[in-house]
C-alpha cells in the first residue's frame, strides 16, 4: 500500500511539474482595441475623463507617446493592423460593411491565419469590420457578423462573459492564444441609433428604454469642464459632444477592467502581453479620416511581465508594427533586422525592455483612399519626429465628410455658424477645412496644430525634397497603385508615365 501511495505521489508531482512547465513557457497576447478612441485617458494627461483601469494598465507597462495608425479609417486600419501592410497594399481601401463593400485581397495572409499555422488559438470579440472571411478567420468569433454590434461591442457584461468563454476554451485546449477584444466604444451612434445619444452614451444606462448593462456604472461629465482638443471649436454644442464621448470612454475603461480581471482569473496575467490602442483618431473635424495629428496619432500601451513598468517611450511606433510584435512574442520569432534604409514594420518587443535611441530620421507613414465608398480622397504622408509631409492626391475636390460626423452636434454647429456668419472659435474656417493644397508640410515641433503650411519654403527645400523622396520610396516598396498620381500614370513596367497636366 505504501508503495502504491508513493507511486501515486510521484505521478501527481510529475503532472504538476508538467502543468507548471506548460504554463511558465506559454506565451499569449491580449489586444484591446478602442473604436475611434483618442487621448481622453488619465495616462495621457487628461484630468477630467475617468479611466482608472487603462491608467493602471499603463502603470504596469510602457506608454508610447509617438504611436500612429497607418490609416485613419475603421476597416482599413483594422486590416492594416492584422496584415502588417498599409491599406493600399492589402486592398482594404475603405469600409467593409454595407454598400461600401471593401475587402482585402484574397491572397493576403492575416495574423490569425499566421498564428493558426503555429497552433495558436485565436479569438475576436466585438467589432470585426474586415473581410473577406477566408482571409480574416479566427477560431473563436463573437462579432457583429452574428450578434448585434452594441451588444457585442458596448455591453461590457456580455464582453466579460465572452472573454471568460474564450479563455476557458484556450485553457481546455492547452494552447497559446491571441485574443482581440475590439470594443465599439467610443464610436458615434450617428444617424443609425440617435435615441441612444451622439456616442451611444445612454445605451445600457438603465434609463427608460435604454436597457441595462449590469457591470456599468455610468460617469457623466459637465460640458464646461471637458478638456477641449485643439481641433474642436470652443462652443457649448461641441463641448457637450465631448462630454458625451467621455461617458462612453468611461464605459470602455470599465470594460477593459472586466476583461483584465477575467485574464487574471484564468491564470494568464503572468504570461500574456497586453496591449491597448485605437484603430484611428477621434471622430471630430480634423480627426478620423484625415492625415492630421488628431486623425493619425493613437494611444498605445503595452504591458509585459518582466519588462519595463511605468515607463514612457518616445519611440516612433505604427500600428503596422503590431503584427511583427505579436509574431516575435508568441512564436519566438524575432523579425530579421531590416536594411539600414528600410522603413518596414518592426517588432516593438525590444522597446518594452529598453528605450532605443531617438533619431531625427525615425518615421512613420500613412496611406488613405476612402472611408465611405463616396469619400474618395487619397492621401499619403510621412511623419518624422519633427516634420510631416502630406500629399493630397485628389486636392482639386473638397474634403469629404462622413455621415456620422455630418450629423454630429459638433459639425452641425460649424455648419450653422458658418451659414449664419456667426463667430466660430475654431482653428480653421470651413472653406480652409474643405479645400486643401496638393502638398502640406508642417513643423510639428513648432506647429503641433498644423496651421502653417511650409510647402515650398526655400529654407526647407532640402528637407521637403528628402521627405518626398522617402515617401516615394515607401510607396514603391509597398507597391502603391497610386504612387504616380495625380501627375502621371503607373505604366506596365512600374514607371510613371507623365500626363503633362501641369501638376
- CA 74, CA 440: separation in Å to the nearest integer? 24
The closest alpha carbon to 485, from 392, 389, 409, belongs to: 392
In the chain, how long is the greatest CA-to-CA distance? 96
For residue 486, say if its preceding peptide bond is cis, omega within 30 degrees of 0.
yes
- CA 369, CA 152: separation in Å to the nearest integer? 29
Phi, psi of 179 (to 5 degrees): -120, 125
Beta strands 121-126 and 140-143 are: parallel
- CA 428, CA 418: separation in Å to the nearest integer? 11
Overall size of the chain counted in residues: 503
- Contacts of 200 by beta carbon, 8 Å cutoff, 6+ apart: 150, 154, 184, 185, 187, 188, 189, 193, 248
Edge-first strand order for the sheet with 379-384 is 363-368, 379-384, 387-392, 439-443
CA 362 to chain CA centroid, nearest Å: 20
Other CB atoms within 10 Å distance of the CB of residue 27:
18
Residues 239 and 225: beta-carbon distance below 8 Å? no
Torsion angle of C-alpha atoms 344, 350, 356, 362, degrees rounded to 10: 10
What is each CA distance from 259 to 29, 255, 445, 489, 491, in whole angstroms?
13, 6, 37, 49, 50
Looking at residue 66, what DSSP letter applies?
E
* Residue 484 is a catalytic residue: no
- CA 436, CA 442: separation in Å to the nearest integer? 14
Q: Tell me which of 49, 74, 200, 484 is the catalytic residue.
A: 74
- CA 245, CA 287: separation in Å to the nearest integer? 14
Q: Hey, which residues are catalytic here?
A: 74
Amino acid at each position: 500500500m505504501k508503495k502504491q501511495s508513493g507511486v501515486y505521489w510521484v505521478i501527481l508531482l510529475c503532472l504538476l511539474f508538467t502543468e507548471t512547465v506548460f504554463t511558465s513557457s506559454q506565451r499569449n497576447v491580449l489586444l484591446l482595441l478602442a473604436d475611434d478612441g483618442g487621448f481622453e485617458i488619465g495616462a495621457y494627461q487628461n484630468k477630467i475623463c475617468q479611466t482608472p483601469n487603462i491608467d493602471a494598465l499603463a502603470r504596469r507597462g510602457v506608454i508610447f507617446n509617438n504611436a500612429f495608425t497607418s490609416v485613419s479609417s475603421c476597416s482599413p486600419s483594422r486590416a492594416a493592423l492584422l496584415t502588417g501592410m498599409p491599406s493600399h497594399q492589402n486592398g482594404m481601401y475603405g469600409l467593409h460593411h454595407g454598400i461600401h463593400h471593401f475587402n482585402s485581397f484574397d491572397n493576403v495572409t492575416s495574423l490569425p491565419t499566421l498564428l493558426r499555422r503555429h497552433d495558436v488559438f485565436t479569438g475576436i470579440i466585438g467589432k470585426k469590420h474586415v473581410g473577406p472571411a477566408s482571409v480574416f478567420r479566427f477560431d473563436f468569433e463573437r462579432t457583429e457578423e452574428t450578434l448585434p454590434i452594441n451588444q457585442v461591442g458596448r455591453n461590457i457584461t456580455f464582453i466579460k462573459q465572452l472573454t471568460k468563454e474564450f479563455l476557458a476554451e484556450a485553457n481546455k485546449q492547452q494552447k497559446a492564444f491571441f485574443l482581440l477584444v475590439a470594443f465599439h466604444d467610443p464610436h458615434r451612434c450617428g444617424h443609425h441609433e440617435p435615441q441612444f445619444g451622439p456616442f451611444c452614451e445612454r445605451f445600457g444606462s438603465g434609463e427608460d428604454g435604454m436597457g441595462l448593462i449590469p457591470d456599468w456604472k455610468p460617469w457623466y461629465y459637465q460640458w464646461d469642464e471637458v478638456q477641449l482638443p485643439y481641433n474642436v471649436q470652443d462652443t457649448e454644442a461641441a463641448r457637450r459632444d465631448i462630454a458625451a464621448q467621455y461617458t462612453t470612454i468611461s464605459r470602455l475603461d470599465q470594460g477593459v477592467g472586466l476583461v483584465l480581471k477575467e485574464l487574471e482569473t484564468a491564470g494568464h496575467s503572468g504570461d500574456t502581453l497586453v496591449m491597448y490602442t485605437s484603430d484611428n483618431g477621434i471622430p471630430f473635424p480634423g480627426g478620423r479620416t484625415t492625415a492630421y495629428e488628431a486623425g493619425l496619432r493613437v494611444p498605445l500601451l503595452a504591458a509585459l511581465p518582466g519588462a519595463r513598468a511605468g515607463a514612457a517611450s518616445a519611440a516612433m511606433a505604427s500600428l503596422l508594427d503590431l503584427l511583427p510584435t505579436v509574431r516575435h512574442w508568441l512564436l519566438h520569432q524575432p523579425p530579421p533586422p531590416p536594411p539600414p534604409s528600410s522603413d518596414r514594420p518592426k517588432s516593438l518587443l525590444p522597446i518594452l525592455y529598453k528605450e532605443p535611441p531617438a533619431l531625427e530620421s525615425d518615421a512613420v507613414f500613412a496611406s488613405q483612399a476612402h472611408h465611405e465608398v463616396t469619400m474618395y480622397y487619397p492621401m499619403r504622408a510621412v511623419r518624422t519626429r519633427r516634420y510631416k509631409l502630406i500629399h493630397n492626391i485628389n486636392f482639386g475636390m473638397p474634403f469629404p465628410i462622413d455621415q456620422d460626423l455630418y450629423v454630429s452636434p459638433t459639425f452641425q454647429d460649424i455648419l450653422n455658424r458658418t451659414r449664419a456668419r456667426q463667430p466660430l472659435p475654431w482653428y480653421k474656417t470651413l472653406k480652409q477645412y474643405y479645400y486643401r493644397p496638393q502638398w502640406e508640410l508642417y513643423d510639428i515641433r513648432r506647429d503641433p496644430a498644423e496651421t502653417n503650411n511650409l510647402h515650398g519654403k526655400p529654407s526647407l527645400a532640402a528637407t521637403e525634397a528628402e521627405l518626398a523622396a522617402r515617401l516615394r520610396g515607401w510607396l514603391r516598396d509597398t507597391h502603391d497603385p497610386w504612387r504616380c498620381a495625380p501627375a502621371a500614370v503607373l505604366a506596365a513596367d512600374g514607371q510613371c508615365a507623365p500626363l503633362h497636366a501641369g501638376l
